[in-house]
């Protein structure tokens, strides 16, 4: 009896221990799930902050004035003036015959002549009692009405004034240099001086200082003038930025870089903290996972023996 009682007591103890292990395994598994979730969140945060730091680094690189440029930035007012001048030259460049023919066969002139001819022809026919004058007047009126179509077919237009003007607008720096020389009115504006300075910078003809010094006083802000290019040209000519526009733009660049530097420092601290948290939670996740597997394996063995 004593042996049987002891055996029952031992089995009861084993059952209680298995129940405790099962409860511990359940609680450990729940904590393991939470740690796994935290580890994933920390990993995602680490990646996000790292990408943000990369973006800020690229932004910091570009938040600085360019060191050079290789193409012209022609203000729109200068382009419009050049196109208008080219269009005017094209319209004045036709032959005298074209102008005379255009005056005769276009506008109200053909209608006036046709109506006058018909009235005169009708009057002569009544006076003379013959329709020959009216027939001649009708033929003349018909010619005046059909003249524009016949003239257009015989002498087609050689081109479009707009296309001619667009083709005549300069493109290369040397061409713009010649154009500005021939158009002193446009060359005396801030846009013209800005273009002339660019031409001098790109052609390296030694006139950059003169072009920059031709600006009266300090260069004012304008939507047609890129201050970044002004900085490049002034540094090339004087080794420093002199105009108020260039100085203001440099101040903007510096302000942006200072803000990026402060944000980058804060992001770097967050990145370090997140990296540590990620490593710790991953280690804890691995350890707890092993303990859960061990407990579940023990319980599976107990059930098999039972």
Give the residue extent of every domain in the chain: 32-63+253-305, 76-167, 171-249
Find the radius of gyration of the CA atoms of the chain. Answer: 45
Taking alpha carbons only, the member of 139, 143, 160 closest to residue 151 is: 143
Mean pLDDT of 72-101: 70
User: What is the token pair recorded at 20?
Assistant: 């405790």
* Most confident among 141-155, 196-210, 247-261 (mean pLDDT): 196-210
* Residue ranges in 183-221 assigned as alpha helix (H): 184-187, 190-203, 208-213
Are the C-beta atoms of residues 16 and 244 closer than 8 Å to each other? no
Query: What pLDDT score was predicted for residue 6?
Result: 47
Model confidence at 11: pLDDT above 60: no
Average pLDDT estimate for 215-232: 74
What average pLDDT does this structure show over 89-103? Answer: 50
Residue 134: CB atoms within 10 Å: 19
The reported pLDDT for the residue numbered 105 is: 54
**Does residue 185 register a pLDDT over 80?**
yes
pLDDT higher than threshold 90 for residue 201? yes
- Dig out the tokens for 77 from the structure: 């007012």
What does the pLDDT look like over 16-49, one tens digit per residue? Answer: 555 566 666 677 777 778 877 887 887 788 888 8
* Contact criterion met (CB below 8 Å) for 161 and 91: yes
Helix locations, the chain, DSSP H: 2-62, 76-92, 96-105, 109-128, 132-154, 161-168, 173-182, 184-187, 190-203, 208-213, 227-238, 244-305
Please give the average per-residue pLDDT across 207-232, as a whole number. 77
Q: What per-residue confidence (pLDDT) applies to 3?
A: 46
pLDDT at 39: 79
pLDDT (average), residues 60-89 = 81
Number of Cβ atoms within 10 Å of the Cβ of 210: 13
Task: Give the pLDDT band (50/70/90) at residue 14.
Answer: very low
Sign of torsion over alpha carbons 264, 265, 268, 270: negative
pLDDT of 72 reads 92
Q: How confident is the model at residue 284 (pLDDT cuts 50, 70, 90)?
A: confident
């Amino acid at each position: 009896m004593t042996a049987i009682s002891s055996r029952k007591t031992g089995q009861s103890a084993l059952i209680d221990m298995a129940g405790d292990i099962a409860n511990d395994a359940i609680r450990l598994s729940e904590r393991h799930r939470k740690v796994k979730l935290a580890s994933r969140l920390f990993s995602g945060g680490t990646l996000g902050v790292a990408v943000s730091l990369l973006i800020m680094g690229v932004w910091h690189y570009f938040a600085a004035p360019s060191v050079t440029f290789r193409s012209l930035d022609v203000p729109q007012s200068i382009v419009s003036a050049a196109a208008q001048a080219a269009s005017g030259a094209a319209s004045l460049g036709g032959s005298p015959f074209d102008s005379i023919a255009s005056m005769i066969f276009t506008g109200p002139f053909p209608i006036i002549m046709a109506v006058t001819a018909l009235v005169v022809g009708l009057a002569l026919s009544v006076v003379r009692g013959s329709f020959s004058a009216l027939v001649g007047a009708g033929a003349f009126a018909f010619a005046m009405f059909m003249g524009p179509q016949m003239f257009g077919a015989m002498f087609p237009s050689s081109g479009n004034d707009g296309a001619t003007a667009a083709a005549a607008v300069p493109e290369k720096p040397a061409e713009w240099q010649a154009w500005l020389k021939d158009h002193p009115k446009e060359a005396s504006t801030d846009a013209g001086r800005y273009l002339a300075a660019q031409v001098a910078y790109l052609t390296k003809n030694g006139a950059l200082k003169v072009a920059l010094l031709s600006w009266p006083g300090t260069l004012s802000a304008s939507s047609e003038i890129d201050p970044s290019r002004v900085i490049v040209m002034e540094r090339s000519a004087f080794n420093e930025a002199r105009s108020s526009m260039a100085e203001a733009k440099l101040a903007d660049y510096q302000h942006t870089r200072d803000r990026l530097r402060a944000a980058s420092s804060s992001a770097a601290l967050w990145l370090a903290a997140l990296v540590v948290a990620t490593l710790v939670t991953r280690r804890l996740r691995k350890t707890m996972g092993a303990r859960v597997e061990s407990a579940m394996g023990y319980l599976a063995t107990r059930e098999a023996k039972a």
